[in-house]
Chain A
């Protein structure tokens, strides 16, 4: 199968792209064929072997920990061109390129590759699955060495700070003293904020996209409905469902709620309207009118169940709900002394992580004297925009990274690049 077929096959399967329905991608990735990061394989790093387990934020110990990660591009001799990509709630380490074997395309493939926003000809890109995830990094569906059974509900409560601590161990393992940048949207943006505040000396810059310093009651509320849906599923069994029926219904409902919050009123109206499927057979249940939006949500939910673990959903949403970058202080106090440059991006129609939350980050940057740039991109895609507004993000990120890498001496020439937006 040619690379192009692999790409389009993957796109049609829509498996590993979080928060997103690939039908919404306006430029099919096949046009990017020659700009792919190529065939990639996941790598694994294990650490925190007993008795040197990792002490988590809540004081509990966890170990050993496996981290699944991928890299694209080459680390330079000075080890100064590394960028850590941070994935969102349902993402994984496979950010770019084509998976060896399965042919899956990475979830941010349109942004990472030769000549792209995260240019693999210039930068060494790393992306790892978060702690608590279910895509290769230790999480509730991993085997607990103490019991030889999967952790399930025995997995300790984790935080965004723990996720970043694990990433820091990976960066240490890769022998990188200072990252050129960390970049992420949504939950990835929270990790970027955590990197900025917890390890300010370990990074030159941070890209903080469509995120918040902490969740509002509205954001917590949506996550709580998702969690309740999972826990109300009779197959959930207090988290110990492995080996039996999965709490698929509950997880699917959680995902459906998620998808509603990722889109905007306009993008839903444009995508579905009030169109109905004509054949009655396709109806989902007796009360369904066969609206396309109903079928879409069901499909998204069903797809998600095949690739995501319900317990991971519980643990990770809890982690992001409890996250607070300001650590109970004023945010600008926590930001003081940060030398890294920050790029903050928000999207006009994003009502899940509204621009006002990004402006709070910007305000703290101003008060703390952090060198920052902020752009509120005019998009109708809602929260999904951070995965879809490729052209605008590419322009901003490319030039921002170019400036940062010039200042660090990664790039020896600084020129204003022409662009056409």
Chain B
């Protein structure tokens, strides 16, 4: 469902850079259904092998080191799906993504989902939810943010939120997303691109 939402936003035949593309499932879908010119960047070697098996072009690199190889606005979309919360230098990576892409798609697990709130409140333990399935000691996530956090973040930096979609366990969430959505996906544009 998360992939479907992203597929709907991406225009046919556009150029897409997926940062932290994993095994390339989303990129391969975008290539097949939207005919995009796709490039992935992924830090995990085994995931690279799977991307190459899917016929994708992918770079074995650490996105925390930036995107210095790319010139400004060289992609129509830069995707940071389920990867932004795992980077060390979040501000830097997001700024780089907005420099290189005309639009950026960000998807992350919502830390303020009601299940997480209940778990912290009633059990006093770090929450484990369908979108945050890891125990506190073995999570790859470095940043825990809520949908409201990200909206605030964008407002403070004059980042324009063009589209949003919020996804719960089985369906899209229309009301009170910060309470009911497990995942938030945003289509954003940097202040520099808005003119």
Contacts and interface: CB of A to CB of B under 8 A. Distances in A.
Given A374-B61, A377-B45, A421-B46, A400 B71 contact: no
Contact of A376 (B53, B60, B68): B60
A79 interface: no
A346 B61 CA distance: 12
Contacts of A369: 74
Interface in A322-369: 341, 359, 362-367, 369
A362 B61 CA distance: 10
A137 B58 CA distance: 38
Interface in A398-421: 399-400, 402-403, 406, 414, 416-417, 419, 421
Given A341-B57, A417-B53, A375 B48 contact: yes
A364 B74 CA distance: 14
A395 B68 contact: no
A402 B53 CA distance: 9
A414 B55 CA distance: 9
B70 interface: yes
A400 B57 CA distance: 9
Contact of B59 (A367, A374, A400, A419): A374
A399 B59 contact: no
A367 B70 contact: yes
A171 interface: no
A419 B71 contact: no
B70 A366 contact: yes
Contacts of A403: 55
A419 B53 contact: yes
Interface residues of B, number: 20
A372 interface: yes
Given A362-B69, A367-B71, A396 B49 contact: yes
B71 A373 contact: no
Given A362-B69, A367-B69, A367-B71, A376 B45 contact: yes
Given A362-B69, A392-B49, A416 B55 contact: yes
Given A366-B69, A366-B70, A375-B45, A395 B53 contact: yes
B125 to A, nearest CB: 36
Number of contact residues on A: which range applies? 20 to 34
Contacts of B52: 373, 375, 395-396, 399-400
B59 A421 contact: no
Nearest to B46: A421
A216 to B, nearest CB: 20
B40 to A, nearest CB: 9
B75 to A, nearest CB: 11
Interface string A381-399: 0000000000010011001
Interface string A106-127: 0000000000000000000000
Contacts of B46: 421
A207 to B, nearest CB: 12
A339 to B, nearest CB: 13
Interface in B177-191: none
Contacts of A378: 45
Interface of B: 39, 45-46, 48-49, 52-61, 68-71, 74
17 contacts: A359-B61, A363-B69, A365-B69, A366-B59, A366-B69, A367-B69, A367-B70, A367-B71, A372-B59, A373-B57, A374-B58, A376-B60, A395-B52, A400-B52, A414-B55, A416-B53, A417-B53
Given A362-B61, A362-B69, 6 more contacts: A367-B71, A372-B57, A373-B56, A374-B58, A400-B52, A403-B55
